[in-house]
């Protein structure tokens, strides 16, 4: 529930509303805006008597947040959330952030080579999993902690920020020591204890849409993280299950526009898992930027034919270079720009 104050409501009126909410046993979060203050009532279990608050001096109206999520919603916060990362990079503003790299860390040599080539092409964040959620227990499971150390080396050498996946709470603590952004993968989108742990991690979280998750479910999962006190959540559209076998998943481009309508959180697009085929990655990357994606998560491998996971959807370095040139043009056409690597940034 949101209590919208009149634009001329004095401070005492706001304090009275806060006190009334607390007396009722809920938390109050005043949100001063340019024109007026809105007070959020947290912990609404559906039994709140809004009329008591509506009658207080200085209250203009009561907005019932009918959606099951609150803090992630546009009603809660109208302006887009801009997440500041280290090195002056931010996501959710004018800049489109490209996160690129192999599906998995496979060796120090492979990750360093991948990092150099994506940086050269203009990426600002290196992606690669050290802990890999694989459909088969017999597939490559990732290098684990040594992989994290290799990622740290790659950051040291290239200045790229690191996004990498955590699969459980224990792993998240290890990942948090190295990652600039912690990824929660599609398979864990509804792992609520992991989401709560992410809410307490103090790190930006990249939350991927579940394999068959609705947008509402994605937003509710993000709500878990915000409700624990971590507002730095980046959503990610990575395709959903469909009946059509032409692509690995159905890349839901419309989710970008839907999420921007419903939420203030940034959303990035992953056309690699979204399509499963490298030839489709660039067209969908261009489309995602045109649709307003705040960033891209793209798999690039120095030698995709020898990749230990997701080789078929991994771009060759020269394909990635071309994709960067094309998406840069698209970003500029809609009044945005691609984020520049550290050193180039003003
Ligand atoms: C990945 O990013 O490599 C990954 C495993 O993605 P998802 O969770 O979307 O399948
Ligand atoms: Mn992958």
Q: Which ligand is nearest to the CA of 164?
A: 1
Across the beta sheet with 2-5, the strand order is: 27-32, 37-42, 2-5, 59-63
The pLDDT tens digits for 210-232 are 999 999 999 999 999 999 999 99
Asked if 9 and 32 touch (Cβ cutoff 8 Å), the reply is no
Identify the pLDDT of residue 44. Answer: 78
Q: What is the DSSP string of 236-287?
A: EE--B--S--SSSSB--THHHHHHHHHBSS-EEE-HHHHHS-HHHHHHHHHH
Place of tokens 């964040």: 125
Nearest CA to ligand 1 atom 1: 103
Q: 2-63: CATH homologous superfamily? A: Phospho-2-dehydro-3-deoxyheptonate aldolase; domain 1 (3.30.70.1140)
CA of 98 to the centre of ligand 2 (A): 16
Per residue in 282-340, pLDDT (tens digit) is 999 999 999 999 999 999 999 999 999 999 999 999 999 999 999 999 999 999 999 99
- Asked whether residue 192 carries a pLDDT value surpassing 90, the answer given is yes
* pLDDT computed for residue 267 by the predictor: 99
The pLDDT confidence band at residue 345, using thresholds 50, 70 and 90, is low
Confidence of residue 344 (pLDDT cuts 50, 70, 90): low
Going by their DSSP bridges, the two strands 37-42 and 2-5 should be labelled as antiparallel
Q: What is the CA radius of gyration of the chain?
A: 21
Domain boundaries, given as residue ranges, for the chain = 2-63, 83-338
User: Among all ligands shown, which has an atom nearest to the Cα of 281?
Assistant: 2
Give me the DSSP letters along 212-225.
T--HHHHHHHHHHH
Question: Using an 8 Å Cβ cutoff, are 304 and 260 in contact?
Answer: no
Residue 153, token pair as written in the block: 């080396």
Contact in structure between 70 and 40 (CB atoms under 8 Å): yes
φ/ψ of 335, rounded to 5, equals 80, 20
pLDDT of residue 74: 95
CA-proximal residue: ligand 1, atom 3 (nearest): 103
274 class by beta-carbon count within 10 Å (0-12 exposed, 13-18 middle, 19+ buried) = buried
Give φ, ψ of 240 to 5 degrees.
-125, 165
Confidence of residue 341 (pLDDT cuts 50, 70, 90): confident
Ligand 1 atom 6 nearest Cα: 185
Mean pLDDT (whole number) for 142-148: 98
Q: Which fold has domain 83-338?
A: TIM Barrel (3.20.20)
Q: Residue 2: phi, psi to the nearest 5?
A: -120, 130
Q: Closest Cα partner for 206 from 215, 198, 196?
A: 198
Please choose from 111, 132, 133, 239 the residue to mutate so as to test ligand 1's pocket, defined by most ligand atoms within 8 A of CB: 133
What's the half-sphere exposure (Cβ side, CA atoms, 13 Å) at 155?
Answer: 22
Q: Which residue has the tokens 């995709």?
A: 304
User: Stretch 8-26: mean pLDDT, rounded?
Assistant: 96
Residue 103 Cβ contacting ligand 1 at under 6 Å = yes
**Is residue 80 predicted with pLDDT exceeding 60?**
yes
CA atoms of 271 and 238, how far apart (whole Å): 6
Per-residue pLDDT band at 67 (split at 50, 70, 90):
confident
Residue 346: pLDDT above 60?
no
Q: What local confidence, expressed as pLDDT, does residue 64 receive?
A: 79
- Percentage, residues of the chain above pLDDT 70: 98
Q: Is the CB of 129 under 6 A from ligand 1?
A: yes
Question: Is the distance from the beta carbon of residue 241 to the nearest atom of ligand 1 less than 6 Å?
Answer: no
């Amino acid at each position: 529930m949101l209590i919208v104050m009149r634009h001329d409501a004095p401070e005492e009126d706001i304090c009275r509303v806060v006190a009334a909410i607390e007396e009722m046993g809920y938390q109050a979060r005043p949100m001063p805006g340019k024109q007026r203050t809105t007070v959020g009532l947290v912990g609404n279990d559906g039994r709140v008597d809004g009329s008591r608050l509506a009658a207080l001096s200085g209250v203009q109206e009561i907005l019932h947040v009918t959606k099951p999520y609150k803090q992630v919603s546009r009603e809660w916060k109208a302006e887009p959330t801009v997440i500041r990362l280290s090195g002056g990079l931010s996501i959710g503003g004018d800049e489109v952030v490209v996160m690129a790299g192999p599906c998995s860390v496979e060796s120090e040599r492979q990750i360093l080579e991948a990092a150099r080539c994506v940086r050269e092409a203009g990426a600002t964040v290196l992606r690669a999993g050290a802990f890999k959620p694989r459909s088969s227990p017999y597939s490559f499971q990732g290098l684990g902690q040594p992989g994290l150390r290799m990622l740290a080396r790659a950051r040291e050498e290239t200045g790229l920020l690191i996004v990498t996946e955590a699969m459980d709470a224990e792993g998240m603590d290890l990942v948090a020591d190295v990652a600039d952004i912690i990824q929660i993968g599609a398979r864990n989108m509804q792992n609520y204890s992991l989401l709560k742990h992410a809410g307490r991690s103090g790190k930006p979280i990249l939350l991927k849409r579940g394999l068959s998750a609705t947008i509402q479910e994605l937003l509710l999962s993000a709500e878990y993280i915000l409700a624990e006190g971590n507002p730095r959540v980046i959503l990610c559209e990575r395709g959903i299950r469909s009946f059509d076998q032409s692509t690995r998943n159905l890349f839901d481009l419309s989710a970008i526009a839907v999420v921007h309508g419903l939420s203030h959180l940034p959303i990035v697009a992953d056309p690699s898992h979204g399509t499963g085929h490298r030839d489709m990655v660039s067209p969908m990357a261009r489309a995602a930027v045109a649709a307003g994606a705040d960033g891209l998560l793209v798999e690039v491998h120095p030698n995709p034919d020898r990749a230990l996971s997701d080789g078929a959807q991994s771009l060759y370095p020269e394909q990635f270079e071309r994709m960067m040139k094309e998406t840069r043009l698209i970003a500029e056409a809609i009044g945005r720009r691609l984020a520049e690597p550290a050193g180039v940034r003003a």
